[in-house]
Chains A and B, each alone.
Chain A
Amino acid sequence: MAISCEEILELYSLQIDGELDEVGQGRMRRHVSDCPECAPMLTAVQQVDQLFRSTPEIALPEGFAQRAVARALDEAAGRDLRIGVAILMIGTLLIGSLAVLGRVDLVVATVTRLLAPGLVDAVEPAIATLLVAATIGGEALLALSAVLRSQLLGPLLVPVIAMGMATAALWWVLNRTSPSRQPVSL
């Protein structure tokens, strides 16, 4: 079966890597002996191969391993710190949100006391029941928020604000002077 020049070049790529079996080598020899057209490209491929094989590895920069280890350890430490700060910030936001919850009673009071009673008389019994349930739920939420506000606003508000500010400042400092960007020696 005749073999094309394109296929020969593909086989030659395998041959220079020592991956061509004897059958393939035989096919190559037969084609190349009768086909002068392949020769220039085969020679060029061989030149590329020789050029690459004769080009050695590049020497490592002095102290590379030390710098790489230091940077890896340093960035890992920086990442741990960032995770810690992120957890602190989320905690601050949660506690702060509880404090803010005290304001929810105004909204709940408006909805449950002004809108719901008027609607109960005008809608179907099933919907009215739902509205009553919502009103009771709203009242419960109102009571809960009042308790939370009384417990949190006074004793916790100042520490929460202080902690939030300290966290923001720490976050800013960490991002400004990222340890991974500084030269470190072991």
Chain B
Amino acid sequence: MIADVAQEKEWVIAALEGDREAFASLVAAYQRPVYNLCYRMLGTQTEAEDAAQEVFVKLFRRLHTYDIDRKLSSWVLSVASHHCIDRLRRRRLKTVDIEEMPAWRPLVSARPQPERQLLDAEREARVVALLDQLEPHYRLPIVMHYWNGLSYQEICEATGLSLSALKSRLHRARLKMATLLQEQAEDLVPASSAELGA
């Protein structure tokens, strides 16, 4: 749920004056895009929840630095993307538990699952594993485009990239993932939603 611009500005101003309900409204409005950005960037739900919470902590702390003339969604996603990239950098410096790493394996459940759920789980695992192969600065525009539904211009506003740089990154990211797909012997394309829905 993204509120209209005037409403958002009212919330920001009220939150700056100490109105907790206004800040809660901002969180409610942006929880979904922020959480999804964090999840697609970081790859696990546990880390995504922690990171997304930290993003809102940062937003609350830095609310006074927000330029009211700027689009709020761009600012929010900019803070979220910087936070995720920082976490990915820190993660590279630490030893990563192999169990926490995304892998090319289907998500297995102890109880029997309907075919649709198994397909969804397998598709999800493939997406996570593919994204994991991308460098963060290539992953970010892909995530913003596909899961935050941002246009080229909106991605440029949130990331500070030029239009030509964005086009280049999307192209290179797709090429890399297409190459990875080609390298896989198995068929990685999920059944289309039309087939599944039939």
Contacts and interface: CB of A to CB of B under 8 A. Distances in A.
A17 B170 contact: yes
A172 B61 CA distance: 24
B117 to A, nearest CB: 13
B53 interface: yes
Interface stretch (B87-95, B99-107, B173-181): B173-181
B23 interface: yes
B24 interface: yes
A64 B31 CA distance: 8
A67 B53 CA distance: 8
Interface residues of B, number: 47
A58 B39 contact: yes
Nearest to A67: B53
Interface string B56-81: 11011100000000000000000000
A54 B192 contact: yes
B49 interface: yes
B152 A17 contact: yes
A54 to B, nearest CB: 6
B52 interface: yes
B53 A44 contact: no
A117 B135 CA distance: 72
A50 B146 CA distance: 10
Interface of A: 9-10, 13-14, 17, 19, 40-41, 44-45, 47-55, 57-58, 60-61, 64-65, 67-69, 71-73, 75-76, 79, 180
Closest 9 CB pairs of A and B: A44-B178, A72-B60, A13-B171, A68-B56, A52-B146, A45-B178, A48-B177, A72-B57, A68-B53
